[in-house]
Amino acid sequence: GESVGLHLPTLSVQEGDNSIINCAYSNSASDYFIWYKQESGKGPQFIIDIRSNMDKRQGQRVTVLLNKTVKHLSLQIAATQPGDSAVYFCAETPNDYKLSFGAGTTVTVRA
Partner 1 sequence: DTAVSQTPKYLVTQMGNDKSIKCEQNLGHDTMYWYKQDSKKFLKIMFSYNNKELIINETVPNRFSPKSPDKAHLNLHINSLELGDSAVYFCASSQAASGGETQYFGPGTRLLVL
Q: Cα separations (Å) of 72 from 15, 58, 78, 84, 97? A: 26, 17, 19, 22, 21
94 contributes a contact to partner 1 by CB under 8 A: yes
Burial class of residue 62 (count of CB atoms within 10 Å of its CB; 0-12, 13-18, 19+): middle
101 contributes a contact to partner 1 by CB under 8 A: yes
Q: Which of 75, 89, 107, 109 is close enough to bind partner 1 by CB under 8 A?
A: 89
In angstroms, give the least distance from the CB of 100 to partner 1. 8
Nearest to partner 1 of 41, 83 (CB atom): 41
31 contributes a contact to partner 1 by CB under 8 A: yes
79 contributes a contact to partner 1 by CB under 8 A: no
One character per residue 46-65, x = contact with partner 1 (rule: CB under 8 A): x--x-x--------------
| Chain positions contacting partner 1, by CB under 8 A | 31-32, 34, 36, 38, 41-46, 49, 51, 87, 89, 93-99, 101, 103-104
